[in-house]
Amino acid sequence: MTTEAKPNVLIVGAGIGGLLLGTLLERANVPYTIFERTSSVKPLGSALMIGSNLLPCFEQLGIDEDFIALGKPTMDCSIAKMDKGVPVHQTTVSFQPHIGYTGYKSYIVSRPQFYDLLLSQVPSHKIHFNKRVLSVIEQDDKVTIQTADNTTYDGDIVVGADGAYSAVRQRMYEALKQEGKLPKSDQEELPFHCTCLVGQTEVVDLEQFPEIKNDMSPFFNTMSDDSPYTWVVFATSQNTLTWMVLHHLDKASSKAAEEQRFRESDNSEWGPLAAQAMCDETRHFPLPVGGSKKFTMGDIYDWTPKTQISKVMLEEKVFQTWYSGRKVLLGDACHKLDPSGAHGAVTSMHDAIALANLIYALPANTTKAIEKSFAEYQKERIPHVMESFKNSQDLALFMNRGLAGTMAMFVMRNMPDWLWNIALRRMVRSRPQCGFMDPIPNKGSLAADRSPSTEKARVVYNRRNAAKAAAAEKAAPSAI
């Protein structure tokens, strides 16, 4: 079989990672279908921060202008700490050098609006809702999924993009465990040390918030001095406020939260009672914005539709096993990161880019060839994921209270510019592109990291284009 082999890809999960993978396969002309367990996806969370790590890919897809129209440039983080009931500014963390390094700004974008942008890129007939996957069976050089409505679907590859409690991962791990091939760490429960209340207000009058009205407004992070909470507020270009309240848990409260979660839901989203209770408990938290007015999180909650408020667990884990045979995992299904580092969605989308490149470049639809590509996928992605995992944990520590948080704050406030610039350069090195589309030239002073999957797809892309050009020239009538 030649490099023209096009596998049929079954994507389980219509979250951000699954949708971007579908979008990429659509452009690569690779057949795929997306299956989502719910009747519609409610994009949890308030907003995403996306910049140079993904904008070159968005340019290739032709969605960069639509994305920028939705986003609000945000290059700074203002950090305050409570002192005698009042938020007192501690430091401002600037990401402005990113522009010079990469040629791109960073943007805050409403998660639901970004989700709708990706959803619009996938033909509606290629997404099936209300399709909860019950089994994943691999045999006779194909893989079959069965859904709760007793329907089966055959394909060459199954991608588990279905979140932290992935059904694809669970089925894959069950089979590996029976064979004695599942590492012990992959058999353990997902740990979590934080819960989070998130939401987005209706349109508000930003004249009341002069600090966040400007075109390059920061996002505002406030740490409590006497309780294990951190709260964050930032604006969108649609004149809404997006927000989250983090509850940092100790061992006892973490155990109690886990028990409550399992009583109320079968995944990481809790019911409305838990969200309302946390709203009531944190209403008095003051905001570091609003000029002379004394706004609190209670005002934010009142401006937010109840349907836009969610309470979730923030699990943290990088699994060892990402693939088996024709099954492979993507995003939260194989690595769940604390949102403090704003890396979760970005790493999921980087997974999608690498996986799409390798699927495009598959030399054959055999299990051997597919599993080899999956091994290359994990090898390429795991260093970046582990770096993001560490960064997220470090930032979570920075936002926590206690001695460790105080020391982290001291280091941040006194870090010399040269050292901070080294950290900033590390943040923006990974800017992968689709190897099966025309490349976007580097726009800044810092070259992007090498992406093996992009290079592999580029070789196949160039060879196919050369073959098409040769065939067209041969078919053209000879000049007289």
Residue 2: closest CA among 475, 471, 467: 467
Q: What is the pLDDT of residues 110-130, one digit of tens each?
A: 888 999 999 999 999 999 999
Tally of CB atoms within 10 A around 375: 14
Kindly state the tokens that stand for 343.
Answer: 């890396």
pLDDT at 380 over 80: yes
What's the mean pLDDT in 347-356?
97
In this prediction, residues 269-282 reach a mean pLDDT of 79
In this predicted structure, the answer to whether residue 3 has a pLDDT above a threshold of 50 is no
pLDDT at 22: 98
Beta bridge partners of 152: 146
- 255 has a pLDDT exceeding 60: no
Average the pLDDT over each of 106-120, 255-269, 348-362, 429-443 and give the range with the smallest value: 255-269
Provide the CA 317 distance to its chain's centre, in angstroms: 14
Q: What is the mean pLDDT of the chain?
A: 87
pLDDT attached to residue 266:
47
128/132 Cα distance (integer angstroms): 10
Identify which of 144, 331, 330, 112 has the alpha carbon closest to the alpha carbon of residue 236. Answer: 112
Give the domain ranges of the chain. 9-72+110-189+316-465, 192-315
Q: Residue 147 pairs with which residues in a beta bridge?
A: 133
pLDDT tens digits, one per residue of 32-60: 999 999 887 765 567 888 999 999 999 99
Segment 352-363, tens digit of pLDDT: 999 999 999 999
- Identify residue 93 by its one-letter amino acid code: V
pTM, two decimals, is 0.91
Name the pLDDT band for 396 (thresholds 50, 70, 90).
low
The 133-139 sheet, strands edge to edge = 133-139, 142-147, 152-155
Mean pLDDT to the nearest integer, 366-380: 97
pLDDT at 216: 63
Assign a CATH topology to domain 9-72+110-189+316-465: FAD/NAD(P)-binding domain (3.50.50)
By percentage, how much of the chain surpasses pLDDT 90? 56
Q: How far apart are CA 279 and CA 378, in angstroms?
A: 40
Residue 243 tokens, joined? 């927000």
Cα dist from 326 to 24, 57, 258, 371, whole Å: 19, 26, 33, 6
Show Cβ contacts of residue 313 under 8 Å, excluding neighbours closer than 6 positions: 192, 194, 195, 196, 257, 258, 261, 268, 270
